[in-house]
Amino acid sequence: MWIIFLAPFFAFLPSSRSQNLAVRSRSCSYVGVFHVEGTQRYNLTFEEAKSLCKHLSASLAKLEEVQKAYDAGLQTCRYGWIDDGRSVILRHNAHKSCASNQTGIRILNRNHSDAFCYDAKDWLVILLVILAVLFILLLCVVAATRKRCCGRKQTLVISKVSSAEGNGTSASFTQQQETIKLMNTEKIPASNSEVVDISLNE
């Protein structure tokens, strides 16, 4: 008989717990730190904030981690729990509706707040993506430079030219000259032809 009356109560407990772990909004991650809001504004206790961060595969951020995120540009108009049981708000620009128009990392003791979570994997993933993009760009630059260098050749040609001169009865003589030609040739991929750039005779 009692089981019939208690069944709805026990059924309500898991749903209540899942509601506390729901996320209404989440900020961008700055060096692994991000701000999360529960189902409503400022409705998380300290323990619920820890559980919510854990549910997101993270942990409540330390003050040092929040400081690094602030230095990297993180700004909120919302207080959030950190791991020492205090609530902080991060302000770069003064606003009358945020932290009483103050700037910096402001600390306040509250019973309910949002949460600042920290996930080192977020920062690692971003760093690896940046390094991968830089590596791909470097490969493209090297490939383009190599292609440009391989398509241009220099050819040195030395040939002998005979010439005859005469002035009336004087005997003709033959003078041999050496002609040096330095030619820059560049292959054109479309027609496989060569273009001569320079011809120098001495």
The per-residue pLDDT string of the chain (202 residues; one tens digit each, 9 = 90 and over) reads: 444 444 444 444 444 444 556 888 899 999 999 999 999 999 999 999 999 999 999 999 999 999 999 999 999 999 999 999 999 999 999 999 999 999 999 999 989 999 999 998 855 555 566 677 777 878 787 777 777 766 565 555 555 555 554 555 444 444 555 555 555 555 555 555 554 455 455 4
- Backbone φ and ψ of 147, nearest 5°: -65, -40
Shared domain check, 181 and 99: no
**Inside any domain, residue 14:** no
Shared domain check, 117 and 25: yes
Distance CA 154, CA 119 (A): 58
**Residues written for the chain:** 202
Which residue, among 116, 121, 104, 100, has the nearest Cα to 37 in the 3D structure?
A: 116
Shared domain check, 88 and 29: yes
Task: Quote the domain boundaries for residue 152.
Answer: 145-165+174-202
**Inside any domain, residue 71:** yes
**Inside any domain, residue 128:** no
Q: What is the pLDDT of residue 133?
A: 77
Shared domain check, 186 and 154: yes
Q: What is the pLDDT of residue 181?
A: 54
pTM more than 0.75: no
Q: What CATH number is given to the structural domain containing 116? A: 3.10.100.10
- Count the domains in the chain: 2
Q: Characterize 111-143 residue by residue with b for buried, 16 or more Cβ atoms within 10 angstroms of its Cβ, and e for exposed.
A: ebbbbbbbbeebbeeeeeeeeeeeeeeeeeeee
Shared domain check, 105 and 158: no
